[in-house]
Chain A
Amino acid sequence: KAGVTQTPRYLIKTRGQQVTLSCSPISGHRSVSWYQQTPGQGLQFLFEYFSETQRNKGNFPGRFSGRQFSNSRSEMNVSTLELGDSALYLCASSFLGTANTGELFFGEGSRLTVL
Chain B
Amino acid sequence: KNEVEQSPQNLTAQEGEFITINCSYSVGISALHWLQQHPGGGIVSLFMLSSGKKKHGRLIATINIQEKHSSLHITASHPRDSAVYICAVKDTDKLIFGTGTRLQVFP
Which residues of A are in contact with B by a Cβ distance under 8 Å?
A: 33, 35, 37, 42-45, 48, 55-56, 58, 88, 90, 92, 98-99, 101, 103-109, 111
CB distance from B41 to the nearest CB of A (A): 4
A111–B39 Cα gap in the complex (Å)? 13
User: Is B27 part of the binding interface, using a Cβ–Cβ cutoff of 8 Å?
Assistant: no
User: Is B61 part of the binding interface, using a Cβ–Cβ cutoff of 8 Å?
Assistant: no
A44–B86 Cα gap in the complex (Å)? 12
By DSSP majority rule, is chain B's interface helix, strand, loop, or mixed? strand
18 contacts between A and B (CB under 8 A): A33-B95, A35-B95, A42-B97, A45-B96, A55-B93, A58-B94, A90-B41, A98-B93, A98-B94, A99-B93, A101-B31, A101-B90, A106-B42, A106-B43, A108-B40, A109-B41, A109-B43, A111-B41
Find out whether the CB atom of A98 lies under 8 angstroms from the CB atom of B95: yes
Closest A residue by C-beta to B48: A103
Find out whether the CB atom of A43 lies under 8 angstroms from the CB atom of B93: no
How large, as a class, is the contact surface on chain B? Answer: 20 to 34
- 5 smallest CB-CB distances across A and B, nearest first, come from A101-B31, A43-B97, A106-B43, A56-B93, A109-B41
CB distance from B9 to the nearest CB of A (A): 11
Find out whether the CB atom of A103 lies under 8 angstroms from the CB atom of B45: yes
Give chain A residues whose Cβ lies under 8 Å from the Cβ of B98: 42
Give chain A residues whose Cβ lies under 8 Å from the Cβ of B42: 106-109
Give chain A residues whose Cβ lies under 8 Å from the Cβ of B44: 106
CB distance from A41 to the nearest CB of B (A): 9
Find out whether the CB atom of A44 lies under 8 angstroms from the CB atom of B97: yes
Closest A residue by C-beta to B47: A103
Q: Which of A56, A101, A107, A111 has the most CB of B within 10 A?
A: A101
Give chain B residues whose Cβ lies under 8 Å from the Cβ of A101: 30-31, 48, 50, 90
CB distance from A25 to the nearest CB of B (A): 14
Find out whether the CB atom of A105 lies under 8 angstroms from the CB atom of B45: yes
A21–B31 Cα gap in the complex (Å)? 28
